[in-house]
Chain A
Amino acid sequence: MPLHAPLAVEATALTKSYGATTAVDGLDLAVPAGTVYGVLGPNGAGKTTTIRMLATLIRPDSGSARVLGHDVVTEADAVRAEVSLTGQLASVDEELTGRENLVLLGRLLGLSRAGARARADELLEAFGIATAAGRLVKHYSGGMRRRLDIAASIVVTPRLMFLDEPTTGLDPRSRNQVWEIARALVAGGTTILLCTQYLEEADQLADGIAVIDHGRVIAEGTPAQLKASVGTGALHVRLLDPDRRPDAAGVLERALGPVSLQPDPAVLSATCPDPARAAAAVAELARTGIGLAHFSLDQPSLDEVFLALTGRGAEEPPGSAPTFEEQTS
């Protein structure tokens, strides 16, 4: 990233504890203005706590953060005037209609009565909720509800938007729509801080990514840089006989390092630093008598990035780094 790019978010050594649990532990973050920045980590990694501090909902125990140039503690009101929250964090009122929700927020943001109504109708139309405008939000489908959430966050277009797990629980079609809306926002000049545990989501939307684990940033960069830091690629192997997968995993682990087992019971993959070692690993599989249906050398996915960085997959609960035996049993 260019040295002089203005930063939308600049956090230094942010820390927040709840009792004995340190949710965020000396976290540093630099988000260039005008980009989508992904904060990627498993459940409980400290993503939501971080956003809540940056959005002035909770005070950090120590460390400092500036959002759009304003200190989150001493200039909290100035921060609030320019940011929006959406996703898991800040929802809409289920006991009001979609239209009432948007008019309510318009009024709270300072629009006139007529202005708030006009803005609500414009957003309802644009987000495809116009036909359900008069229905109570508790009767909305998940996708409609999420779109209303986002519409509620742009009643006045924010300069920075916190999107916390915006597509959790959505079907692929609704998910694509949310992504489209996020892209439209960035095209309009809004900076987005995206928290997600979906690697694909970060890969799809983010210009830069910070991987966090146990409240700390453990890696940072563009999606391409992160992949490159892990190795030149990943070896994907499809076995003829899925029952041989434990043997194959053992061979690959010895040859290349950590192995991730894919949902398809015949497929496994491992990151590898250079193609020569991948070739050697494939040769070793053949020598051991494990039949291959197919193998390929690809850019590693973010899932593999996480595995390489933490020694465990992103989907697993934190605290334990399961050994290969535990994964297969």
Chain B
Amino acid sequence: MTTLTTDADTAAVRRAIAGTERPPRPGPLQAALTFGWRGMLKVKHVPEQLLDVTVTPVMFLLMFTYLFGGAIAGSTSAYLDYTLPGLLVMSVLFTTVYSGVALNTDLTKGVVDRFRSLPIWRPAPLLGSLLGDSVRYVVAGTVIIVVGVLLGYRPDAGVSGAVAALALVVVFSFGLSWAFSVLGLLLRSPNAVMNAGFMGIFPLTFLSNVFVDPATLPGPLQAFVDVNPISILATASRSLMAGEPDVPAILVSLAVAAALALVFLPITTRLYRSR
């Protein structure tokens, strides 16, 4: 008989109801960290999610290095040196789209309504899930660097250069992910968020200096590529890996991240509140 374990025990339910006192409200930080913990649990339960965001960049890495690398840079190893810091940027930025997808999935499931009915600091669920997402960003970035090293990539600045580049890219992604959170709140389905997100991030990544040196591009395109924040971030990441930090590029990257957060964070919070 399994009735003992599959039925509610009314007497115990009564005891459970009687035995509670309302604890003090959690502080903003505790609430946000709790949501961060929720994000990590999801990664733990569905590690396949990480495959989605790591397989594509690894594929690009292999394809570009061995298929086009020789033609673009003369040799595959020379090309790997050029493109790996850029691919780090691409793989982590692609992951930010999934922040919007995850938010939209929450909304379609109704669990958000429970969170919204709790007496907690209102932006906590959003901040917390981005905190959890940053784990994904780090994993995605690490995978690319490790695969690069396996293929023969050696950053001049060693481990510390790679860590610094990864940190910069993760901070940038933190800012960018608010833009995808807005998409996640505006669009109807997780799939729509994914499509719209990649429709934006894909061309922006290709129209940057991630894959080719813009010197070979026609004038107007080159002008665009030069001001594309993704180019600037890739340049900054390259400089950190090479051990010759390009300070202006790093500062511009951080400023763009801050600007993205300043614009999209309030919109996200407002949309989240009114949904």
Q: Which residues of A approach B to under 8 Å, CB–CB?
A: 52, 55-58, 77, 80-85, 88-97, 100, 104-105, 107-112, 115, 119, 122-123, 125-128, 130-131, 136, 144, 147, 152, 154-157, 177, 180-181, 184-185, 187-188, 190
Contact = CB atoms under 8 A, between A and B. Distances in A.
Nearest to A104: B38
B42 to A, nearest CB: 5
B216 interface: no
B5 A91 contact: no
A190 B20 CA distance: 12
B119 A126 contact: no
Contacts of B120: 108
B12 interface: yes
A125 B15 CA distance: 11
Interface size for chain B: under 10, 10 to 19, 20 to 34, or 35 or more residues? 35 or more
Which 5 A-B pairs give the minimum distances between C-beta atoms? A90-B114, A126-B12, A110-B23, A81-B119, A188-B17
B209 to A, nearest CB: 38
Given A90-B114, A180-B8, A188-B18, 19 more contacts: A57-B116, A93-B111, A95-B46, A97-B45, A104-B34, A104-B38, A108-B26, A109-B23, A109-B119, A112-B23, A123-B16, A126-B12, A127-B8, A131-B5, A131-B6, A154-B17, A155-B20, A156-B22, A157-B17
Contacts, number: 136
Contacts of A111: 23
Interface string B1-36: 000111111101111111110111110001100100
Contacts of B227: none
A57 B20 CA distance: 25
Contact of A57 (B6, B7, B30, B117): B117
B20 A93 contact: no
Given A100-B41, A110-B26, A125-B12, A156 B20 contact: yes
A126 B13 contact: yes
B118 interface: yes
B119 A127 contact: no
A52 B16 CA distance: 27
A115 B30 CA distance: 14
A126 B9 CA distance: 5
B117 A84 contact: yes
Nearest to A94: B109
A56 B119 CA distance: 11
Contact of A157 (B10, B20, B42): B20
B15 A126 contact: yes
B244 interface: no
A96 B39 CA distance: 10
Nearest to A96: B41
30 contacts: A57-B113, A57-B117, A58-B274, A77-B119, A91-B109, A91-B114, A93-B38, A93-B111, A95-B42, A95-B45, A95-B46, A96-B38, A96-B42, A100-B38, A104-B34, A104-B37, A107-B30, A108-B31, A126-B8, A126-B12, A128-B5, A128-B8, A128-B9, A131-B6, A136-B45, A154-B17, A156-B23, A157-B20, A184-B14, A188-B17
A188 B12 CA distance: 12
A60 B10 CA distance: 37
Given A108-B26, A110-B23, A152 B5 contact: no
A56 B117 contact: yes
